[in-house]
Structure 1
Amino acid sequence: MARRRLSHEGTLVLDSEGLSKLLADDEQVVALIAEPRARGIEVVISALTIIEAVHARTNTAGLNWVLSGLRAVPVGDEEARAASKLLMDAGLHGHKHAIDAAVAEAALRQHRPVVMLTSDVDDMAKLCGDRVRLVAV
């Protein structure tokens, strides 16, 4: 399988699927994260991504180990309001897209260029516009 190269600087953001695949030791995602980490590029997630990715069979020790290598971006009142504005601007509803909006908002605040590993390229493109490079996982 050909490896896709990421930027030499900036920030890498994982959505829920990116985190889930990292937890599952998915070869593609591990490779896409290893390269930026080796260059000192920060890998971040929204704090809400942790909630979205966890399920009854989640290996807690594995989750804690993976999270120790990531920076979780908090979601407070200011971030929630900014995410709500992204939803409105994109014409999306918070009931279905609330966590996506929080992830997009967190991505937009990171050191650029920003690359996001996501399973939802269409909705993330609506939320982030062209300010975040989206890589399908």
Structure 2
Amino acid sequence: MRVITSSATLVEAVRPGINRPALEWTLSRLVVEPVTDAVARYAAALLTDAGLRGHKYAIDSVLSATALAAPGPVTVLTSDPEDLAALCGTRAIVIKV
């Protein structure tokens, strides 16, 4: 099993007060996928399909596109399950953490 995330999620994860060694340890166990042109275009299509737009959903859509491009089955762990479920539909299991 590959555990992946989008490089865009690092923007949300890194903040003042974060335990940087713990973050680096966690990231060393993940495959961090780049935000390519193809992923960005897929993310934009997911936003359109879900009727969403704007920066509020940008990183969620990139994470969704990254997850859905991976070989299935796909499970997405998130603190924002409603938005991720809207973006992924039935193509992924979304779990609140």
Query: Normalising by the residue count of structure 1, what TM-score does the alignment of the two structures yield?
Result: 0.67
Which position in structure 2 is the counterpart of 1:114?
74
Which of 70, 86, 93 is the aligned partner of 1:126?
86
Q: Which of these residues, 75, 93, 96, is aligned with residue 53 of structure 2? A: 93
Unaligned residue ranges in structure 1 (runs of 5+): 1-40
- Give the structure 2 partner of residue 66 of structure 1: 26
Moved more, 96-105 or 85-94: 85-94
SS, match of residue 82 in structure 1: helix
The CA deviation string for residues 41-69 of structure 1, in whole angstroms up to 9 with x for no partner, is 21111111111111011222222111110
Give the deviation of 1:116 after TM superposition. 1.0
Query: Residue 95 of structure 2 aligns to a residue in which SS?
Result: strand
Q: Deviations over 1:56-106 (max 9, x none)?
A: 112222221111100001101121111011111111112210000000000
Aligned-CA RMSD value: 1.1
Q: Residue in 2 aligned with 1:77?
A: 37
Equivalences, count: 97
> Which amino acid counterpart does residue 40 of structure 2 have in structure 1?
A
Matched residue SS, 1:103: helix
Q: TM-score, normalised by structure 2?
A: 0.92
Cα distance in structure 1, aligned partners of 2:25 and 2:95 = 24
CA contact (8 A) 1:79 1:105 kept: yes
